[in-house]
Structure 1
Amino acid sequence: MNLQKTYTVDEAQKKLERYCAYQERCHKEVKAKLLEMRMIPEAIDQIIVHLIGHNYLNEERFAKTFVRGKFRIKKWGKNRLVSELKHRDISRYAIESALKEIDETEYDLTLDNLIKKRLGQVKENNVYRKKRKVADYALYRGWESHLVYEKLKQYI
């Protein structure tokens, strides 16, 4: 017996308006939510067009917000940010526009602080292993390898 609630287009539209007003969303998240609500493809397209038309859904605004947040809070590098945005099917233009939100001096300073902090945390006597562990940590977070190794040369 199927007990999942069904929605009319208007009900689903109102629900998605609240969903998008609460937090920036990408098209992929909204489409997934509508599929979860068991909406038909024609209704999904109609609701997404409505959300875009009424500025509830904006891919470029989502990308900019995502980049600012993940960079400042999680200290992600550009490689990781681009990868995550591509995973969410964000356009190349929106990705490039969002990456311009990051100030280059702030970017460099953040990597510098990240490397210093991690060097203090890694308890390894062998210099090469320590360097490798710190580099792996920074690379996993999406920092460009040439920048990571340049910073490590300064400190080790």
Structure 2
Amino acid sequence: MKLSEPQALNRVAAYCSRTERSEFSVRKKLLAWEFPEDAVNRIIDRLKKEKFLDNARFARSFINDKIRFNKWGRTKIVFELKKLNIPESVYNPILEEVAGDEFEKQLMHILAIKEKSVKSKNDYDKKTKLIRFALGRGFSMDLTIKCVNKLLGGDYEEHFS
């Protein structure tokens, strides 16, 4: 069954009203329904005009969810936003609002939990495993080393020299 343009607009509006969506994901869905590019652009423009679609609102929701529920760091969040074609000018101000203390508190919390389950031969091995874990979650090396040192004591940087 081939959808008409008004039917597609209604379906996509319902899709956008359930949760925040990026323009990229809506465009992808419409192209998967085999709509021509000009029809896709008309539908997206209408959704933006009627406030169903807003990349800034999506980015704010995405960032808050990934920090709060997934416990992701800045690097991983930025990577995922770039995959969704969200412009840097949209997400940078939002990340700046959240930056600093929020990421550090989050990282300290997940490191404290992870530290209890890490099995290691010595302190150096434990610190290395915790750092690898934090980097995998998307936290910066500087913040990771600072938090691991705060949690376990000592000075990790001396091992890199």
Output the TM-score relative to the length of structure 2: 0.89
Shift of 1:104: 3.3
Aligned counterpart, 2:140? 144
Aligned counterpart, 1:51? 47
Aligned counterpart, 2:30? 34
8 A Cα contact 2:17 2:52, kept in partner = yes
Output the TM-score relative to the length of structure 1: 0.92
Shift of 1:130: 1.5
Aligned counterpart, 2:127? 131
Q: Deviations over 1:77-133 (max 9, x none)?
A: 111111110111101111112213426333221111111111111111222222111
Aligned-residue sequence identity (percent) comes to 29
In structure 2, the gaps of 5 or more residues are 153-161
CA RMSD of aligned residues (A): 1.2
In structure 1, the gaps of 5 or more residues are none
Aligned counterpart, 2:77? 81
8 A Cα contact 2:22 2:53, kept in partner = yes
8 A Cα contact 2:24 2:84, kept in partner = yes
Would you say 1:115 and 2:111 are equivalent positions?
Answer: yes
Q: Structure 2 CA distance, aligned partners of 1:98 and 1:105?
A: 14
Q: Structure 1 CA distance, aligned partners of 2:103 and 2:136?
A: 16
How many aligned residue pairs are there? Answer: 152
